[in-house]
Structure formats: C-alpha cells, structure tokens
Amino acid sequence: MCGIVGYVGAQPSVPFLLDGLKKLEYRGYDSAGIAVIENGEIEVVKAKGRLTNLENKLKTLKPLTGCCGIGHTRWATHGEPSDVNSHPHTSSRVTIVHNGIIENYSELKTFLISKGYTFVSETDTEVAVKLLDHYYYNDPIKDPVEAIMKTIKQLRGYYALGILFKDYPDTLFAVRRESPLIIGYGDGENFIASDVPAILKYTKKYSLLDTDEIATITADGVKVVTHLGFPVEKEILEANWDLESAEKGGFPHFMLKEIHEQPKALLNTLNPRIKDGMPDFSAEKIEDDLLRNAPALHIVGCGTAMHAGIVGKYAIEQLARVPVTVDIASEFRYANPILHPNEPVIVISQSGETLDTIAAMRLAKGQGCPIIAIVNVVGSTIAREADYVLYTWAGPEIAVASTKAYSVQLATLYLLAIRLAWLRGAIDDPRAKELTADLLEVPAVLDKLLVNTDNIKHIASTYINSQSAFYIGRSLDFALSQEGSLKLKEISYIHSESYAAGELKHGTISLIEDGVCVVAIATQERLLEKMFSNIKEVKTRGARVFLITRSDSIIPDGLVDDVVRLPDIDDFLAPLATILPLQLFAYYMALLRGCDVDKPRNLAKSVTVE
C-alpha cells in the first residue's frame, strides 16, 4: 500500500505535499517523491528510502514554488525500491502517483512500445502514465478527462491515481478503483490524499471518491464524474479525528501512544453499545433474529484482525455454543468456502481497505451471507459494502503494528458473544449483565497495567538476543498468543511462533534448548496445572520462561524466570488484559534492538494489494 497526496491552491504546494506524506508514511516508506507544475513544466523530484531523503534532496535544488502538485510514499510491489522506480512517474507531459496494482501492465506496455513509447522503470505505474499520455496526445480534442476515461477502460486491477497534465497547470486530476482516495476541501485550496490524517492540519472537510469516479480539482472547485462522464454530487463529510489524534502526543512512538490509548478506545467502543447493562446493537440495526437463528458464524480477516477473530471464535463458541469458523481472508477467497445465506460472515479490518478481506467479503456477499463488518475507519470500502457496520471508535491507528485496533475488535466480539449467548438462552440475564459489567471494567484493568511498564522493559532487555521465541497457552490463552507472537515478529524481527501448550510435546519441543525464549500465558484457572506442567517440560530443556498469569496463581519455585501478573479479571475476558503486556514486551524488544517500531521493514499499514 502507498500514500498519495495532491494540492492545488494559492500557496506553494511543496509544504503540504511533504507534510501530507509525513502523515501517510505509515502506508509505505520504501521511497518518496513529488511532482510540481513549475513555469509550465512538470518538475519531478524523488528519492529511495525514507521521506527525509527526499526532503534533503529538495534542499539541494532550486526551490519549487508551483501551486499544483502531487506526492507519493511507496511500498514497493513492481520493481525494487530505487530512485528510478519511485513515484511520481512521468511521460514529461503527464505525471502520476499511484497506489495499487495494474494487473495487465505487461500487455499494455507491449502496446505502448509498439506506439513508440520507451520505459525507464520496472513499474506498472509508468505504463499507466504513458497510456494516459497516449490517449491524451493522440486525440485531437486533447481532453484530460476523456483521456482518463479511455485509460481506465484499459486498466485491470486496483488503483488510486493523482494526475498532472502539463497543459493544465492549475488543475489536479484524480481517479480511483478500490484503493482509497479522498478529496479535501480547503478555503481557496483543495487536496487529495489516501487517508484523512494527511489533510487534518488544513481541513476536516472531505469526500470519498468512489470506484471509477474521476475528479477535476482546481483551487476554487471540484468536479466529479463517473467513468461514463455523468456528473456526481459528492457528500462532504467532517473528519471526526482531530490533528492531535494523528500526532504522537508526546510519546516516542505512535505504537506506544496507541498502546496507552487502549483504555479510552475500549470505552469509546463499548459505551455506545451497552444499554441497561446489556449489549445493544440497535444503532447498527443488527436484528436479534439474525443472531438468534444463525446456525453458524464465519469470521474473516488478515493478520491482527484475523487473530482477533480467533479469540472471538473461542469466546462465542464457549459462551453462545454457536459454531464459528475463522479464516485468513487470502485463503478464504480461494477455498470455495461452505457458506449458507443464513450464516452471517463477520469481516474484521482496522483500515477497511485490505484487499484480501474486501475480496473475501464480496465472495460471501455473493453467496447471500449477511455481512457484519468490524471496522475502525469510517466510510472505508468494507464499511460501505457491508450489510451491518460495527465501528470500533479507536481513532486513527498510525503505527504499522496494530494494538488498540486489536483490543477494540476483541471487545466488539465479546459484546457480540454475550448478546448471542443471551438471545439463545445460553446465559441468563444476571450472567449477561455480570459479563457486560466486567467488560466495562477492562479499561480500568488496563490502566493498572499501564501505571508502570518498566518491569516489562526490564524483562524484555534480558531476551533481546533471542534467536527465536515460542508463545504457548491453552484455550483462550492459546488464541491470544497468536497475536502476541505476530507483534514480536513484525517489529523486532525475531522469529516466533505461537503453539498450543499441549501440542509442544508432539514435535516442536525438539526445538527447545538452552536459552530459548518461551512466553507462557496462563490465565485460565481450570487449566493452570496443565500449563505449569507444560512450562516445566520446556524449562527442564533449558528454556527461559516469561509467564503472564493471574494475580492469584501459585507458581512453583524455579518454574519461570520472569512473571507479570494480571489484575483481577474474569477468565473469560482475560485476553483483553493479557494482550497489553504482550504488546509492551514486543515494543520494548524492538526498541532495545534498535528496530523502527512504527515503520517496520517490508511492512505497510494496510495492504491494499493482493
């Protein structure tokens, strides 16, 4: 996934372009570039690596003062990260920035070469810009919107494009197919961006460009047409985020800020859905019969969102006794899944733009399944296409490694589990109200854990040279351990895997030797003894064990090396608390290993390509 920005107005465009790219760097950071129409020519400046490389390069050049420009920060798909492959790409007369993939770029490239075009990069984007050039300059009427319409008719794949035509020095053009793109409305200036944080400093007013809509943007006006040229009146939305939410707020990293925001995020997500002490989804119009009569549920997502689904499966099955399947979205969509129209499919996504999850949702929708989306970004593609949307009010999650989004996804799934169980008579009123009240207590539990995190930092400091790590648990603890393991992997680059504690002895225990890091999670009272014997199995083989357990666990001497105890919490809800020390452990491991916590290598915040 990449970040796109564009500006047209009375001010020089470069300051917004760089500022906007900074806010979008979490979307990809292999390289960055800008293009500005300067004295009738399109000036392009780009650089491999982080945005600072581009900023430093610009300082060595004659200042660009043009008031119409586009910018891009890249997560490489076609062509390695390099100066020549970075965006913007240009034909010198037309220049674009692109987020997404042009699937049929090689056949289009062959066509363009036959028309005399040459190519300098390995990217699919360069093919798109030269196709635009071809349709614009090889057409006597030379209408940019016409050229865009002809071009997108030929393109297969998903994309968002910011476009400059040399012949239109005061106009910005934009078009999208699936990959997100918004239009920002300022006072005498207008913007495009891949996401809201890029424009918050300048305006909160924005519209979402819909698939195959083409925008023509000048300083004092925005015109949008469909791919057939019919005018479209766009709804103007008001961003519900403030600038401060999109900044670090004094924390050293977005990830740490977002870990600390979890209590507030949970309250913001839970409170609107609890009435008279019970979970209530009337605002989202989720009919009780839909839940009461569902013979089964299916959960789909990617990465952390899918991990939330795994805990959700355990919670719903344990409480409501409804069978739940959980699938990785990229597997689900090619698995010819067994679905029935009366079985709701719960689609989980922080960004609401993950392509694999969108495709899985559309497949399920095509088979008549009701779609319940659990999404954090308002107005995102998944939110707009689902039948029911449960927004998680966590605010913008900027760090690539998801933390607060996972917690609010879990909380929403727990609310669903309690409602489902109560509707189906699996639990009575008192138990439903007790669990709901306990759920509302979780933010206070997290606050206690956040009072002092130095102990976790100290524990992490003793494991930072581990070559690998195993996260073990049983039942809900095993379900949760999968997210704990991903957190460590994706930001500290230490290989780790999560394992059902009872399964280790069936093979993997052969990997346990002196010094191997084992993170053991034991919060379920009924399984404590079993867990302690599994810990003994790894301990006797030389493992170093970091245990996260209940406040009242009686731990045999010498069983573990380090321990974090949770404040009192119902076993059933324990994952909502356990995740916090696991997030902090991963955070401090990455920090102490000198890794880039907010922008881990090779990753991007939301993967809008396959």
Residues lying near ligand AGP in the complex (CB under 6 A) are found at 302-305, 349-351, 354, 357, 400-402, 490, 606-607
Residue closest to ligand AGP, measured at CB: 303
Strands 205-208 and 237-238: antiparallel
Strands 221-225 and 182-185: unpaired
Instruction: Give pairs for 77-83: CB < 8 Å, separation 24+.
Output: 77/101, 77/124, 77/609, 78/105, 78/122, 78/123, 78/124, 78/125, 79/121, 79/122, 79/123, 80/122, 81/30, 81/31, 81/48, 81/49, 82/31, 82/48, 83/31, 83/46, 83/47, 83/48
For CA atoms 73, 76, 82, 84, give the dihedral sign: negative
The catalytically annotated residue of 313, 404, 433, 605 is 605
Q: How far is the CB of 561 from ligand AGP (least distance, A)?
A: 27
How crowded is the C-beta side of 535, counted as CA atoms within 13 Å? 28
CA-to-CA dists, residue 329 to 61, 101, 103, 244, angstroms: 46, 19, 20, 33
Which tokens belong to 545?
């064990």
Strands 345-349 and 371-375: parallel
For ligand AGP, give the closer residue by CB, 26 or 159: 26
Dihedral angle over CA of 563, 564, 569, 574, nearest 10: -80
| Closest alpha carbon to 581 in 445, 414, 408 | 445
For residues 47 and 53, the answer to whether their CB atoms sit within 8 Å is yes
Q: For tokens 């400091």, what's the residue?
A: 461
Q: How far is the CB of 397 from ligand AGP (least distance, A)?
A: 8
For ligand AGP, give the closer residue by CB, 88 or 303: 303
For ligand AGP, give the closer residue by CB, 45 or 329: 329
Q: Is 68 a catalytic residue?
A: no
Q: How far is the CB of 307 from ligand AGP (least distance, A)?
A: 8
For ligand AGP, give the closer residue by CB, 402 or 492: 402
Report the DSSP beta bridge partners of residue 221.
218
Q: How far is the CB of 378 from ligand AGP (least distance, A)?
A: 14
For residues 157 and 103, the answer to whether their CB atoms sit within 8 Å is yes
Which tokens belong to 132?
């635009």
Those residues whose C-beta lies under 8 Å from the C-beta of residue 552, and which sit 6 or more positions away, are none
Q: How far is the CB of 496 from ligand AGP (least distance, A)?
A: 14
Q: How far is the CB of 352 from ligand AGP (least distance, A)?
A: 7
Q: How far is the CB of 581 from ligand AGP (least distance, A)?
A: 17
Q: Is 2 a catalytic residue?
A: yes
Which tokens belong to 500?
């059902």
Strands 278-279 and 274-275: antiparallel
For ligand AGP, give the closer residue by CB, 302 or 577: 302
Question: 95: how many CB neighbours lie within 10 A of its CB?
Answer: 27
Which tokens belong to 553?
């666990």
Those residues whose C-beta lies under 8 Å from the C-beta of residue 123, and which sit 6 or more positions away, are 78, 79, 85, 87, 89
For ligand AGP, give the closer residue by CB, 182 or 418: 182
Those residues whose C-beta lies under 8 Å from the C-beta of residue 425, and which sit 6 or more positions away, are none
How large is the angle between the packed helices 429-451 and 404-423, nearest 10 degrees?
A: 170
For ligand AGP, give the closer residue by CB, 130 or 489: 489
For ligand AGP, give the closer residue by CB, 46 or 176: 176
Residue 279 CA to residue 273 CA, distance in Å, equals 6
Q: How far is the CB of 111 from ligand AGP (least distance, A)?
A: 34
3 state SS for 308-356: HHHHHHHHHHHHHCCCEEEEEHHHHCCCCCCCCCCCCEEEEECCCCCHH
For ligand AGP, give the closer residue by CB, 24 or 400: 400
Q: How far is the CB of 376 from ligand AGP (least distance, A)?
A: 8
Q: How far is the CB of 491 from ligand AGP (least distance, A)?
A: 8
Residue 390 CA to residue 394 CA, distance in Å, equals 12
For ligand AGP, give the closer residue by CB, 402 or 482: 402
Report the DSSP beta bridge partners of residue 69.
7, 36
The catalytically annotated residue of 2, 67, 68, 302 is 2
| Residues catalogued as catalytic | 2, 605
